[in-house]
Amino acid sequence: MKAYLSLLILILLAYPPAQTAADDAQPRSWTGTVRGEVLNIDGEAFLVEDTLGRKVQLHVGPNGSRDENIRVGDEIAARVIHKGKETYIKSLKKLASSFSSSTVSSSLIEGEILEIDGSSYFIKEKTGGKVRLQVDGKTWKDGNITVGDSILATIDDFQTVHVESLTKH
């Protein structure tokens, strides 16, 4: 019996236990939006003070896009990807102060959803204007977007006002 126990102990020491499922899990990834004022720009790195007063360092990531005319002091919205310990900008847009639905001058629309009719989302902008947005299967949505939600819409086609992404805020 002692020999059997000794052999079992040697086997256990020689072969450590397998990793648990938690150890095997890939780092969680998520997508979110950072909105705030640009404090500093250093190449593809942006220091932004977000709406909660926190200073956030953001870097444009692989295949990331950004508006070319962003300067210190501009209010921006950044779609951010977080994978493991790495966080990077997927898209960075300058927020416009105001615009009407007939002449869209920015790639972002901020407002409240008034009505959803199939692929059309009717938005009341913060300036009071109303805009009809086209949403389809290619539109990235931040969760379940419903009537009454306050949203930030990234526009990728100004002719049809097609929405690239909808983010609650």
Q: At 102, is the secondary structure helix, strand, or coil?
A: coil
In angstroms, rounded to a whole number, what is the distance separating the alpha carbons of residues 18 and 125? 55
- Between 143 and 159, the more confident residue is 143
- Whole-number pLDDT of residue 46: 92
- The total number of residues shown for the chain amounts to 169
Question: CATH code at 73?
Answer: 2.40.50.320
> Is 11 a member of any domain?
no
Q: Residue 17 is encoded by which pair of tokens?
A: 């236990």
In angstroms, rounded to a whole number, what is the distance separating the alpha carbons of residues 92 and 96? 13
Tell me: do 63 and 36 sit in the same domain. yes
> Is 69 a member of any domain?
yes
- Whole-number pLDDT of residue 152: 82
- Whole-number pLDDT of residue 15: 59
Tell me: do 79 and 119 sit in the same domain. no
> Is 1 a member of any domain?
no
Tell me: do 44 and 84 sit in the same domain. yes
- Whole-number pLDDT of residue 114: 93
Q: How confident is the model at residue 8 (pLDDT cuts 50, 70, 90)?
A: low
In angstroms, rounded to a whole number, what is the distance separating the alpha carbons of residues 47 and 17? 45
> Is 74 a member of any domain?
yes
Instruction: List the domain range (segments joined by +) for residue 141.
Output: 108-168
- What DSSP designation does 42 have? E
Question: Average pLDDT in the 54-62 region?
Answer: 87
Q: How many domains does the chain have?
A: 2
pLDDT, tens only, 83-129? 777 788 887 888 764 333 434 444 678 889 999 998 888 988 877 88
Question: CATH code at 148?
Answer: 2.40.50.140
